[in-house]
Amino acid sequence: MNKKMKNLLYQSFDTPLGDTDRQRLGTALDTDENLRNERDAITDIRQNAAALLFEPFRPEFTKQVLARLLSLSHNVTLSPELFYASLLSGFRKLAWAGGLAAAALITIHLLGVDTLSQENAWILSDFSIQELLSLSVF
């Protein structure tokens, strides 16, 4: 089976083909039995899929949603826990972003120095202990 014709066949189920492509596909279908089998198999799948029935939700579904909505609206206005939980999750995201940014800065710095050392990683090599202490005082 010609791969191009097979692709055109699949395309034809969902997109209107141009005149040339439609003619090429028609000719290929007339001469290629495998392509016809492929078309029949896909048509069968599509027809059966369209005929699939799904049971609706139970009759009390609407009442249950309304009851949940009502209870949720009470919980949201009364519960400070939800507020603190969302605040905490916001801080977590911020901490992760900060950590990643610090790691990226250290990596960039390490790529720019000649030797890899812990001092270089923390950008300490240019300072003496006394200088660092004086920086922390001011």
Q: Which residues sit at the interface with other proteins, rule CB under 8 A?
A: 7, 10-11, 13-15, 33-34, 37-38, 41-42, 45-46, 48-58, 61-62, 64-66, 68-70, 72
**Start-to-end C-alpha separation, the chain:** 80
Give me the least distance between CB of 69 and other proteins, in Å please: 6
Give me the least distance between CB of 22 and other proteins, in Å please: 17
Q: Which is nearer to other proteins, 37 or 125 (CB)?
A: 37
Give me the least distance between CB of 129 and other proteins, in Å please: 50
- Cα(83)–Cα(85) distance, integer angstroms: 5
Number of Cβ within a 10 Å radius of residue 5? 19
Q: Which is nearer to other proteins, 37 or 117 (CB)?
A: 37
Q: Which is nearer to other proteins, 4 or 109 (CB)?
A: 4
Cβ pair 68, 42 in contact under 8 A: no
Q: Which is nearer to other proteins, 68 or 93 (CB)?
A: 68
Structure tokens at 41: 């198999």
Written in H, E and C, the secondary structure of 51-68 is CCCCCCCCCCHHHHHHHH
Give me the least distance between CB of 20 and other proteins, in Å please: 19
Burial tier of 30 (Cβ tally within 10 Å: 0-12, 13-18, 19+): exposed
